[in-house]
Each structure stands twice: as structure tokens, then as C-alpha cells.
Amino acid sequence: MATARPEASADPVLPHASRLGLVVWFVAQWVVIPVDFVFRIAWLLVLFLGNGDEDMLLRPSDALARFLSPSKLMLRMSHNPARHEAHVDREFARLSREMEQQRFGWRTKICHLVMHVGMPDGGFLEGVGLHPREFRGIPLSVLTRTAHKNRLALEASKDLSHGVLLGPVGMRNL
């Protein structure tokens, strides 16, 4: 007899990636990421030499952002909410310090998307876009609470599938 599926929670959360998929990616990344990186560099050269359109750009660092270190592999294979929340808390604290100074390190520039966010006074500051892989298994309420704890504003889609935008407190929707 099939069991009934639980009703969708009002608090959206992305499911964890499968453990088998994580292991397969961990092995395959050693070939896929360098090939993707070289392809992106070649594509930039083609666009540059062929007067390509700005909309066709591929950031070479996006290939590097998908790298899964052994420690991140172990974290993502663990479905322990406390470990994931602690990781997100440390990451948000680091991003908060960088946003206060408006100086972002190479790790942030490679792993996340640094972009302009609007402020109530009409000016712009730098904010950070996080890919969904960074917070799988963590409910939106926990992400929001952690962001506020670290003096960050969080903007997310209803289902979290498009990632989240972190910015200084008081940022306005773009």
C-alpha cells in the first residue's frame, strides 16, 4: 500500500542531492571542470575576435564554482540539518564581513555571483547571489533567520530554485 505524500510545507526547502549523484560528480568533476573552463576561455576568445554580443558571455569562473572539495562532499552527503545550518551560518558571517567592507575575496568572486543591489537611498552596493547547491536541505525560514543574525537581507524566489540574493540590510528589490 502506498503511503500518502506529506503536504507541501509553507516553508520551501530544496531536497538534498542524491548521495550517488554527489559521488559520481565528485569523480567526474576532475575531467568535466577543466574541459568546461577551457571551453569557456575559447568561447570568450571567439566572442572577442568575432565581435560577439555581451549576452553571449560565459564566465570562466562559473566552471570553477562547481568544484566539490572532499569536505563539501562529506557535508552534502550528510543530511544532518545541524551541520548544514552551521555551514550556512559560517558562510553568511564571512559574506557579511565582506559586504560591510564592500571588498570581496577571490573565493566569493569564484563561488558566488557578486552583483549590484539597490538601496533605499537610490544608491547601489554590492550583494551576493548564492546558487541553490549552497543551501539544499535548509528551509527558507532558517536561511532568513541566519541572514538576519548576520546583518544581511535575503531575497529568494518562492521555491528557492533560482537561488537567493544576499545584500546589506535595507536593500530594495531590483
Q: Are 75 and 87 in contact (CB under 8 A)?
A: yes
User: What's the mean pLDDT when you consider all of the chain?
Assistant: 86
Count of H-run helices and E-run strands, the chain: 6, 4
d(C-alpha 150, C-alpha 45), whole Å: 40
As beta bridge partners, residue 117 has: 125
pTM: 0.81
pLDDT per residue over 29-51, tens digit each?
Answer: 999 999 999 998 998 888 888 87
Residue type, 124: F
Domain coordinates in residue numbering, the chain = 17-77, 80-174
